[in-house]
Amino acid sequence: MREILGRRRRLRLRRRARPAPLDAVLTCATAWQWPVLPGVGLEAAGGRGGRGRGCACPDPECAVPGAHPFDPGLLAATTDERMVRWWWTNRPTAPIVLATGGRAPCALSLPAVAAARALAELDRMGTRLGPVVATPTRWSLLVAPYSLERLGELLHAKDRVPSSLRFHSGGGYLVLPPSGVGAGQVRWERAPAPGPRPGSGGKRGAVGSAEPWLPDVGAVLDALVEASDSAPDGGSRLAY
């Protein structure tokens, strides 16, 4: 009996240690000034036709179950604390969706196995990485905001860019921890750490500030392209 009680106590402590979605989303929106909105989430177990927890959106063939905006749409993303509190008070388990681009971080994502190789290579090269978001199937590296023109220039110099490497910039989005989506739990593979943004001159996001440090896209692109080249090509289907 003592062993059972001890196990229950440990489980309770683990639950308390998990970051609450509301706390996490308020940090993103208010401390870091990242525009967010609630994702569509998953339907209840035994949902449509008893097929388990699929996406709560109307599309029965949704490629990213739970991991996308629906209502409200992406343009509703905000840093307003009152709006964020209202959303997650009414939907406490909703995934946290970051609207990428503008003044918010952008990201590059690739299959998990390839991403692990890329991170190991970047570490070997001494490249400082920013936050890395992981699902069981894909990892996403957050980078400083970049324009489509800048990205186009960088990609033009490549012989080939695999479609398994994807870009999340202006008009895009990314699901952040501790969200639960169809692919599984979203977590930090590399947790956010404070520091200056590239080219900020120390004015915005200076060392010691709450805003996470983000590398320039050019610092990580080569390693991600090379790693993605050996990953399965997912074609146009944006599956996580």
Lowest-pLDDT choice from 12-21, 63-72, 77-86, 207-216? 12-21
DSSP string, the chain: -HHHHHHHHHHHHHHHHSPPHHHHHHIIIIIS---EEE---BPPTT-GGG--S-BSSS-TT-SSTT-S--SS-GGG-B--HHHHHHHHHHSTT--EEEE-STTS-EEEEEEHHHHHHHHHHHHHTTPPP--EEE-SSEEEEEE----HHHHHHHHHT-S---TTSEEE-TT-EEEETT-EETTEE-EEEE---B-PPTTSTTSSS-TTSSSBP---HHHHHHHHHHHHHTSPP-TT----
Average pLDDT over residues 105-134: 95
The answer to whether residue 207 scores a pLDDT higher than 60 is no
Percentage of the residues of the chain whose pLDDT score is greater than 90:
67
Average pLDDT over residues 92-102: 96
Q: Residue 17's pLDDT band (boundaries 50, 70, 90)?
A: very low
* Amino acid 2: pLDDT: 53
Residues in Cβ contact with 161 at an 8 Å cutoff, skipping those fewer than 6 apart: 155, 225, 228
The answer to whether residue 205 scores a pLDDT higher than 50 is no
Three-state SS string over 104-138 comes to CCEEEEEEHHHHHHHHHHHHHCCCCCCCEEECCCE
Are 181 and 66 in contact, with CB atoms under 8 Å apart? yes
Average pLDDT over residues 229-240: 51
Are 108 and 213 in contact, with CB atoms under 8 Å apart? no
* Amino acid 5: pLDDT: 53
pLDDT digits (tens, 9 = 90+) for 48-91: 544 557 999 999 999 999 999 999 999 999 999 999 999 999 99
Q: What is the mean pLDDT of the chain?
A: 84
Three-state SS string over 31-65 comes to HCCCCEEECCCECCCCCHHHCCCCECCCCCCCCCC
- For the chain, give every domain's residue range: 19-229
* Amino acid 211: pLDDT: 86
CA distances to 56, 143, 182, 183 from 64, in Å: 11, 22, 7, 8
* Amino acid 159: pLDDT: 86
Residues in Cβ contact with 165 at an 8 Å cutoff, skipping those fewer than 6 apart: 108, 109, 110, 224, 225, 228
The answer to whether residue 202 scores a pLDDT higher than 50 is no
Percentage of the residues of the chain whose pLDDT score is greater than 70:
78
d(CA 85, CA 116): 35
More confident residue, 39 or 201: 39
Burial of 175 (C-beta count, 10 Å sphere; 0-12/13-18/19+):
buried
pLDDT digits (tens, 9 = 90+) for 120-156: 999 999 999 999 999 999 999 999 999 989 999 999 9
The answer to whether residue 176 scores a pLDDT higher than 90 is yes
* Amino acid 160: pLDDT: 86
Total-model pTM: 0.81
pLDDT digits (tens, 9 = 90+) for 24-39: 999 999 999 999 999 9
* Amino acid 12: pLDDT: 54
The answer to whether residue 9 scores a pLDDT higher than 70 is no
Average pLDDT over residues 9-37: 77
